[in-house]
Amino acid sequence: MPKKVIPKKMPAKRTSNKIPQLLRGFKDILPVDQQYWRLVRQAGQDFADGYSFGKISLPILEESNLFVRSIGKDTDIVQKEMFTYNDVSEGSVTLRPEFTASVARAYINHGMFNLPQPVKFYYFGPLFRRDKPQAGRYRQFYQLGYEVIGDTGAIIDAQLIVLAYNLLNQLGLKNFTIQINSIGTPESRKEYKKELVSYYKSKRKMLCENCKKRLLKNPLRLLDCKEASCQPFKGEAPQIVDWLDDESKAHFMKVLEYLDGLDIPYILNPYLVRGLDYYTKTVFEIWPAEKEDGAQGALGGGGRYDGLIETLGGRPTPAAGFSLGVERLIIQLKEQEVKLTNHQAPKIFLAQIGDQAKIKAMKLFEQLRADGIIAAENFTKDGLKNQLEIANNLGVRYVLILGQKEVVDGTILLRDMESGVQEVFDFNKTLQEIKKKLSAN
């Protein structure tokens, strides 16, 4: 007779009572900060509308190869910063670390070369990089940006810089600088890279570990290093402008001519190269004035990327764009103490006393909201004193009060929180009377 097998009892799954915590490099955006996010998001959309950029929304997850081919396999982003994993059906996929490659893919996938050129895109959303968290740059961070695909003109480069300058001024930011350079074409950079490598080889022992690797794989990034130990060598390094081809020189001079004609202040930075392989010709970055020394903290940047569409399999198509870091903009808004106007702040507070008053007040609240009048309330409170304290803390000018007497009489009481004056009027005329008050103030 076969031996009976008794299954082993599985140990009970252990559960932890520990409170879940945020992952390193991720952050909650709380209601107290949403007014800053609303300001930046709305300004970004307003400028997109004003400059005729169409909003594009892109997937967060893409094929890993998209970023390897566009950003460059030897860049820091691809080498060590991407959130990449193997999907059972899709293969290697990556949480997008930047927007431009995805915009270029969308342009190709949807045959946008058939549209009137150039095609102009605006975007706003989260990006992901497995990097050491910095001030204003978490592992999940947000950018807004603008891309123009399908035109070679220097006027495009200049207009993007003008847009960035005007956007920051519109937000109320003052202490920032625009640094600009030209890195020419891939062909014109070949001889320059040889000269750059030759210069830095003599300093190899003093370079940081990353720059020792860049010396072999990605020499231009030597100029983009933010390590303090590498900063002294940059000043005497060969300048890329001396190796520009004639067409790149003419293009860059035209960009500067436009900026001068429009009185846009800028700083020529011959060592500015940006950190991604797809850039060509014009490159620029925007920095808080106090961080011009090369420390982490650029507010944004961009430039021209004429070869990217072709690199990804599309037809040769010129393009340019830039993006701004939302968190870093908000840090500057706070540091520069930019005053915000909250257009969504409640204009009135609706107070009530008693169950019948609650029902009537809730109906009135929905009428006010439907009519575009922003009202605040706390229907869970019963005492008038508590509700008036809430109204006072919110800074509303008027409080509408419904009590048992008002319900019976068919009236409502309006209190001016500044003067203390109270008025009683017909409940059915509430909307009419409150509009008069708000219009007068």
pTM: 0.86
Cis amide bond preceding 118, omega within 30: yes
> CB-hemisphere CA count at 13 Å for 150?
14
- CATH number of 432's domain: 3.40.50.800
Domain boundary, last residue among 335, 368, 394: 335
What length is written for the chain?
441
**Encoded tokens for 84:** 């990449």
My answer on whether 47 and 178 are in the same domain is yes
Q: Residue 159 belongs to what domain range? A: 31-185+245-335
Tell me which H or E stretch contains 325: strand 319-325
Per the listing, tokens 């431009």 go with 100
Which one of 310, 335, 360 terminates a domain?
335
Q: What is the pLDDT of residues 43-101, one digit of tens each?
A: 999 999 999 999 999 999 999 999 999 998 878 788 889 999 999 999 999 999 999 99
pLDDT reported for residue 6: 57
129 is a domain residue: yes
Residue with tokens 């299954």: 7
Does residue 331 sit in the same domain as residue 435?
A: no
pLDDT band at 4 (very low <50, low <70, confident <90, very high): low
- What pLDDT was estimated at residue 309? 96
The answer to whether residues 251 and 365 belong to one domain is: no
Return the higher-pLDDT residue of 209 and 12. Answer: 209
What CATH number does the domain containing 259 carry? 3.30.930.10
| Cα three-residue angle 359-360-362, rounded to 5 degrees | 65
CA-CA distance, 366 to 323, in Å (whole number)? 40
In this structure, the number of other CB atoms found within 10 A of the CB of residue 412 comes to 26
Residue at a domain's end among 277, 302, 335 = 335
381 and 330 in a single domain? The answer is no
Listed range (54-68, 132-146, 283-297, 388-402) with the worst mean pLDDT: 283-297
**Residue 81 resides in a domain:** yes
Q: Which residue has the higher pLDDT, 355 or 217?
A: 355
Residues 313 and 174 in one domain: yes
Number of H helices, E strands in the chain: 15, 16
What mean pLDDT do residues 317-344 have? Answer: 92
Residue 7 in domain: no
Where does the pLDDT of residue 14 fall: very low under 50, low under 70, confident under 90, or very high at 90 and above?
low
Residues 303 and 354 reside in one and the same domain: no
Residue 261 counted as domain residue: yes
Q: What is the pLDDT of residue 398?
A: 95
134: which DSSP letter?
Answer: B
CA distance 101 to 124: 15
Residue 300 is assigned to a structural domain of this protein: yes
Checking if the pLDDT of 192 tops 70, the result is yes
Residues 159 and 303 in one domain: yes
Q: How many domains does the chain have?
A: 2
Report yes or no on 51 lying in a domain: yes
Tell me the pLDDT of the chain averaged across its residues.
Answer: 90
Residues 385 and 326 in one domain: no
Residues 151-182: pLDDT tens digits? 999 999 999 999 999 999 999 998 899 999 99
Q: Shortest CA distance to 265 belongs to which of 176, 384, 329, 330? A: 176
**Mode of pairing for the β-strands spanning 398-402 and 411-416:** antiparallel
Q: In this structure, is residue 419 part of a structural domain?
A: yes
Q: Please, what's the b/e burial string for 26-41 (b: 16 or more CB within 10 A of its CB; e: otherwise)?
A: eeeeeeeeebbbebbe
Regarding whether 419 and 286 lie in a shared domain, the answer is no
With residues binned 3-state (H G I as helix, E B as strand, rest as coil), the percentages for the chain, rounded to 5, are: 45, 20, 35
Burial (CB < 10 A; 0-12, 13-18, 19+), residue 382, is middle
Among the ranges given (131-145, 285-299, 394-408), the one the predictor scored with the smallest mean pLDDT: 285-299
State residue 16's pLDDT score. 66
Q: How many CB atoms within 10 Å of residue 304? A: 29
- Does residue 436 sit in the same domain as residue 330? no
Task: For 105-130, write each residue's pLDDT tens digit.
Answer: 999 999 999 999 999 999 999 999 99
Query: Is residue 238 assigned to a domain?
Result: no
Residue 179 contacts by C-beta under 8 Å, 6 or more apart in sequence? Answer: 266, 267, 268, 269, 272, 284, 285, 286, 287, 292
Judge if 253 and 361 occupy the same domain.
Answer: no
Ramachandran assignment for 257, one of left (phi > 0), alpha (psi -120 to 50 degrees), beta (any other):
alpha
CB 311 within 8 A of CB 69: yes
| 68 and 166, same domain (yes or no) | yes
